[in-house]
Structures are given as structure tokens and as C-alpha cells.
Chains A and B, each alone.
Chain A
Amino acid sequence: MKTLGLLRRRRALLNCAPISRDQLADRSMRAAISREDGSDEFVNQQNFDRAVAELVRLVPIPAESAEWFSDKEAVRAPKWTWRRILLNPAVLAISIALVVIAGVFTFNLIGRLNDFPGSATTRKLLTVAGSTRSVMLDPVSAEAGTLSDLFFMKHGLEHYDVPEEFADFRTIGCRVFDDDESQRIAQIWVAEKHMQFFLFPAERDSKTGAVLAFPGWRYVHQEGWVGAVTEHNGVCFMAALQGQEKDLKPYLSGPKQ
């Protein structure tokens, strides 16, 4: 039975014998042909196949179809050009994500560069300034510079002094309140451009308790309000108004930091 099977397979291989000898790569095919090579039947088959293949090679190629042959590149996988790499959806998505991350990082970095000791408190106070109504303050009509005595005498707040740049401004009212960290905050409303002043304790080092001082004026922005902040004798002063830095600049003397 095994021999019969082998004979059948050899016969099957011979029926599929290649027309050109250069296609004799298969070992079992080579073996089958070497056994049969020279027999009349196989020679006739090979001559027959060669004649048919020769005829097939004479099949003319229409000019319209031949146009494809000069454009073989059309069916090749496209090469990876820089433009193609950049327009790849995965690369594009990663690039956009990196740009967004870089943007957020830069935004935070710039924000940090403008930070100074107590900047978080000043931002909160700008929010307070935005929500304060004049009826909430005790009416006081005086020069802002004179209120430091009031804060000291009435509330025991030492060095709550209005800087000389703003000392001459006429006040409408003032109050002293505790913020959410139980810090004593003095708030003054002046007639000039509806400006508000805030005086509050400067930030201190959590370990040593030393005042974290900073020189000159610093700007801070929050919800359409702008504040100019300075520190003196462990107390911060902030002049705030609704607007931009350029609205506050004319009032400040000394170098802006």
C-alpha cells in the first residue's frame, strides 16, 4: 500500500513537472523526474508543455495595460518620507500630546516665575476685593496713611502701614477681618479708581519663623483684578484694582520686580 502511495505521488509530481528546468527546486520533484527522464511519455509531455508555454508567451499585451508596467512603483508599499511619518495618526497624536504637555509645563513655569512669598494669599484677597461691597466696610474719610494708627490702636496691628505711594489717597471705608487661616487682614477702600488696599502678615519660614521678604513691588492677577504687592517690616501691602498692570504702574515708585 505504501509503495502504491509513493507511485501515485510520483505520478502526481510528474504531471506537475516544471516546464523550465530552473524551477526544479523541490527535492521530491527532482527525484521523480530523474526516474522518469528519457521515457517517451514524459518527453512528449515536456515538449507539449513547452509548446503551450511558448504560445502563452506570445499573448500580446495591450498598450493600455502596458502603461502599468512603467509605473510599477504604484503598487509598491510607499516609502516612509518625513511628511508621511509626520502625518501618521499615531505620530500626530503623540506630537499634539507633547505640545499640550509642553504648553502646560511652560504655563506653570511662567506662573511659578512670577510667584513670591504670600502670592497665594494675595490671589485670595483679590477674590475678596471682587466680592466686597462698600456697605461691608466701616465708613472712614481720611488719608490712607493715617489709618495705621487706627489699626494699631483699635486692633493691635503693628506695622500695618500704607506705603507712601498710596498714603495720600482719600479713604471711603475700612475693616479688619480674619481670613480662613486666622490671619488678621486690614482692608481699605479708597475713592481713587475704586482701589482697595490690603494689609496682611507676610509669609514666614515654617521652621525658623523668619519673614520671607522680597524686594520692591510684585504684580499678581486674578479674575480681571490686578494687585501690586510689597513687603515691609513683616507686613505685606497690596493695592488692588479692576484692570491691568498699566493701570497700577503710574502709582508705583521704585523698580518693579
Chain B
Amino acid sequence: MSDRKQNLPQLYRFCFLMLGDSRKAQEVFNATLREAASRAAQGELPKEPFWLFREARWRCLEASKTDLQPEALEMDEHDITSQAASQIKQLEPAQLAIWISAAADPQRTALALFYLDEFDYQEILDIAELKLSTLSRCLSQGRRQLQAWLDAKHPEAQKA
């Protein structure tokens, strides 16, 4: 397996974005790697690329099944502004993770995989088992919703 396909720091970050909680992310991350180590010891490690990320994704979805689920609300959407980058710089990584983890799947998976900046869009389609149109919609809506949240959180930056 190439180093890129088993970039373990990125795997942890993916779990963190999916779950928005460091403790849960560690649990899923450790469980995924334990499973991989066990399979490797038996010579049964799947040869398919991105197996670790796919396995971690299902574990994240399973782990968050029992959590409070986001209400099906019509979220505000704003156009992306040129000030967005400075608004984002004011965020903590944990705040972003909590926001992404609160999204319903497959948007949650799409945003987490995309913003890892690890995979191209075809690889994301493969890992998340999505169509291009769905991935596109998830990312587009995600950006606009995040912009709306940023505008609500940092209105002063919006005015500037």
C-alpha cells in the first residue's frame, strides 16, 4: 500500500472531521488500525485502495448512529465572499470539525474527504460511493451553508 493511501495523520483528521470529537475520533482511528493490523497478520489485508478510509468512514457513521441527529432544517446559504478566507482563519479546527460532523451524510463524508486535500474528486467518488452530481451538490451546498454560518458567527468580517 502506498504511503499516500495510508496517510495515517490524514486518516485521524478524517475521523475527527466526521465525528467532531477527539475522543470518538481516536476510538474509531484505533479500531480501524487494529482491524488492519489483525488482517495484515493473517495475510488478509484488502488490496483495494483507500480501504482504511472506507473502513474508517463506516465506523464513523456507525459510531454516530446513536448520537443526536441533526434536525432536517432548511439551512441558510450565502454566496462565497472574498472575505471568507479571513473569516475561516478565525475558526478553531475543532469548530470546523463540529460543523462538518453535524451535517447529514453523504454531505458529511464529502466535506471531510474533500477538505483533507488528500484525494482528487474521482477518488472521493470511489471512497464515498457517490455520483459526481451528488458530490458536486454536497460540496456546493456545504460551502454556501458554511459561508452563511461564518457570516452569522463573524458579521464584522462580512461588513468589512
Contacts and interface: CB of A to CB of B under 8 A. Distances in A.
A13 B96 CA distance: 24
A15 B8 contact: no
A131 interface: no
Contacts of A23: 119-120
A29 interface: yes
B40 to A, nearest CB: 5
Interface string B142-157: 0100110000000000
Contacts of B114: 16, 19, 49
B43 A78 contact: yes
Interface residues of A, number: 46
What is the predominant secondary structure among interface residues of chain A facing chain B? helix
Contact of B84 (A26, A47, A54, A76): A47
A148 to B, nearest CB: 75
Interface string B122-156: 10100000001101110110010011000000000
Nearest to A17: B121
Interface in A40-88: 40-41, 44-45, 47-62, 64-66, 68-69, 72, 74-78
B84 A68 contact: no
B96 A56 contact: yes
A60 B133 CA distance: 32
A78 to B, nearest CB: 6
A15 B132 CA distance: 10
B37 A56 contact: no
A18 interface: yes
A23 B84 CA distance: 23
Contact of A74 (B33, B52, B133): B33
A180 to B, nearest CB: 59
B88 A51 contact: yes
A61 B29 CA distance: 11
B33 A75 contact: yes
A92 interface: no
B82 to A, nearest CB: 6
B43 A74 contact: no
A49 B121 CA distance: 14
Given A56-B115, A72-B6, A44 B84 contact: yes
Nearest to A70: B8
B11 to A, nearest CB: 9
A74 B40 contact: yes
A76 B26 contact: no
A47 B13 CA distance: 21
B34 to A, nearest CB: 9
A29 B117 CA distance: 16
B81 interface: yes
A48 B93 contact: no
Interface string B93-114: 1001100000000000000001
B61 interface: no
A52 B43 contact: no
A60 B40 contact: no
Interface of A: 8-9, 11-13, 15-20, 23, 25-26, 29, 40-41, 44-45, 47-62, 64-66, 68-69, 72, 74-78
User: Across chains A and B, which 6 residue pairs bring their CB atoms closest together, nearest first?
Assistant: A12-B136, A16-B121, A51-B88, A51-B85, A15-B136, A75-B36
Given A23-B120, A68-B30, A75-B52, 11 more contacts: A18-B120, A45-B143, A48-B143, A50-B85, A53-B115, A59-B97, A61-B13, A68-B29, A75-B6, A75-B37, A78-B40
